[in-house]
Structure 1
Amino acid sequence: MIELLTVGLLTGFLSGFFGIGGGTILVPLLLMLGIDTKTAIGISVVQMVFGSIFGSYINHKKGTLDVAMITFIGLGGFVGASLSGFITAAFSNKTLEVFFLLFATFALVRLFMPVKEAAEPKEVKKSILFIIGIFIGMMSITIGVGGSIMLVPILVGFLHVELKRAISAGLFFVVFSSIAGLISHTLEGHVDFQRGIIIGIISLLGVYIGIHFKDKIEVTLQKKLIVIFYVFVVAYLMKRVFING
């Protein structure tokens, strides 16, 4: 119980402090505790349901959430994520860890890629938005991450959405994808609800604390710390995949 509370609090804190999805933090932490990869992914999906709904509520209260904009991408994410449990079940734990390593490496590299904002939003067919949502929902929930880290660059770079609105939309997308993913992973027996709910609830407190501390440090220091965090995650996963394996 103490381990679960600590992991949940730390996951929420780092998520709020760095502004990143809880799955990126939680899955490696659970692997370190010796939890099976597929079970770790299932627990992460439970935490994402709590975190995304809580965060989207806060964004809605602040007026930064554009529900209409994300609806079709979100519905696509729901469809794509509904397949995630079956896809996860089809791969070995080692293969899933390789996928997560590739994702963490992408997240690290993306920190050094500036996101350029355009002046005017771009109109895109709803069918295209739906297809984008399917792809991101399927790929991300399969390894237990929310997908916002993939969606935000698309919204900003290609659809010309303002960055703050894109971040809020990315989190709201996770509401759709995580709920569908929870159903799919439950059907495959990947979800430990007892541990998932404990971690999910306590992580909300961590998010609140993390956001509070985030506002008290300089952006440059925050970026250095998140780079260190991702380097640690990538190094740990490389050790699991290439040395321990």
Structure 2
Amino acid sequence: MTSGPELLNRRGVAVLACVGLACGLLSGLFGIGGGTIIVPALVWLGLSQRHAAATSLAAIVPTSISGVVSYATEGNVNWIAAALLALGVIVGSQLGSLLLSRLPEVVLRWVWVAFLIFVIIQQITFTPPREGHLVLHVWSGAFLVLLGVVTGALAGVLGIGGGAIMMPALSFLFGASDLMARGTSLLVMVPGALSGTAANWKRGIVHLKSGLIIGCCAVLTAPLGTMAAGWLTPRAGSLLFAAWLAVLAVRSIWTALKVTRRA
């Protein structure tokens, strides 16, 4: 197991700290774990897509804890829905870790690009309500567990917390407000990221020290992002998130093309 010594020189630590600060801000603002920032940054620093995704998942643990505390204090967490989602996410994250260790690098790159494009389209076409209520019954509870399995598998492969999947699903399918969806998503990320990181640790593909540097720095700025989320309208938040992902998608397509040519 390596802790990523090539990342822990002075330049690397400074980059990791800056990534963590930005990650915390966007985590609180958009209700995501921050993998959309962490993975490209770690790839830029020289990690493979596989190791970057595994390390990102480790960084998401403290990031999501900080974000969910801020949302919970405002009453924007549905604990029952989070528990049902978490059951599925824990199972799905094990599958995701297995796929992450076995899929070719070029496949991982293009799965990441497809995911970014999907979320961009979703953010542009759907605006979550600010005043909404998450209603649970037997069938919706079962569907939440299934959603958790799918989210956990994708989160494990991509190195994300899964908020970009859960947040729109909670609003669109279950009627949750945008703030409730973000807070609930962040809570679910904690057991999912822990489960996936444990599996990645056993497979020797996570750079734990680098992930902890990012995560601890993210804790400092996540509350600021949560405050900003309350100031923005749901539509403005969706468009800002889509714009950020569009920038990442352009760079990710470029790097995926280069990896494909080499392959």
In the alignment, which residue of structure 1 is the partner of 2:80? 68
In the alignment, which residue of structure 1 is the partner of 2:103? 91
The 3 A distance-change label for structure 1 pair 65 and 116 is: closer
1:48 lines up with 2:60 in the alignment: yes
Query: C-alpha separation between the residues in 2 aligned to 1:82 and 1:36?
Result: 20
Query: C-alpha separation between the residues in 2 aligned to 1:119 and 1:13?
Result: 26
**Cα distance, 1:215 vs. partner?**
6.2
1:179 lines up with 2:194 in the alignment: yes
Query: C-alpha separation between the residues in 1 aligned to 2:76 and 2:235?
Result: 24
In the alignment, which residue of structure 2 is the partner of 1:121? 135
In the alignment, which residue of structure 2 is the partner of 1:32? 44
Gap regions ≥5 residues in structure 2 = 1-12
Gap regions ≥5 residues in structure 1 = none
1:168 lines up with 2:180 in the alignment: no
**Cα distance, 1:76 vs. partner?**
0.9
**Cα distance, 1:176 vs. partner?**
2.1
Q: Which moved more, 1:6-15 or 1:194-203?
A: 6-15
Q: Which moved more, 1:10-19 or 1:218-227?
A: 218-227
**Cα distance, 1:61 vs. partner?**
1.9
In the alignment, which residue of structure 2 is the partner of 1:16? 28
Q: Map Cα deviations across residues 5-31 of structure 1 (whole Å, 9 max, x no partner).
A: 122222223333444330111111111
The 3 A distance-change label for structure 1 pair 182 and 104 is: same
**Cα distance, 1:222 vs. partner?**
5.6
Question: Does the 8 Å contact 2:93/2:149 carry over to 1?
Answer: yes
**Cα distance, 1:103 vs. partner?**
0.9
Query: C-alpha separation between the residues in 2 aligned to 1:242 and 1:169?
Result: 36
The 3 A distance-change label for structure 1 pair 127 and 227 is: closer
Q: CA RMSD in A?
A: 2.5
> When the two structures are superposed, what TM-score results if normalisation uses the length of structure 2?
0.83
Query: C-alpha separation between the residues in 2 aligned to 1:185 and 1:65?
Result: 28
In the alignment, which residue of structure 1 is the partner of 2:204? 189
The 3 A distance-change label for structure 1 pair 128 and 220 is: closer
Query: C-alpha separation between the residues in 2 aligned to 1:189 and 1:44?
Result: 14
Q: Which moved more, 1:172-181 or 1:1-10?
A: 1-10
Secondary structure at the counterpart of residue 68 of structure 2 = helix
> When the two structures are superposed, what TM-score results if normalisation uses the length of structure 1?
0.88
Question: Does the 8 Å contact 1:45/1:141 carry over to 2?
Answer: yes
Question: Does the 8 Å contact 1:45/1:145 carry over to 2?
Answer: yes
**Cα distance, 1:219 vs. partner?**
7.0
**Cα distance, 1:212 vs. partner?**
5.2
Question: Does the 8 Å contact 1:100/1:143 carry over to 2?
Answer: yes
**Cα distance, 1:220 vs. partner?**
6.8
Amino acid at match of 2:172: G
Q: Map Cα deviations across residues 130-169 of structure 1 (whole Å, 9 max, x no partner).
A: 2221121112221101112212232222223333222211
Amino acid at match of 1:92: P
Question: Does the 8 Å contact 1:78/1:137 carry over to 2?
Answer: yes
Residues 156-235 of structure 1: pairs in structure 2 closer than 5 A: 156-211=171-226, 225-235=240-250
In the alignment, which residue of structure 1 is the partner of 2:151? 136
Query: C-alpha separation between the residues in 2 aligned to 1:214 and 1:73?
Result: 23
Question: Does the 8 Å contact 1:15/1:25 carry over to 2?
Answer: no
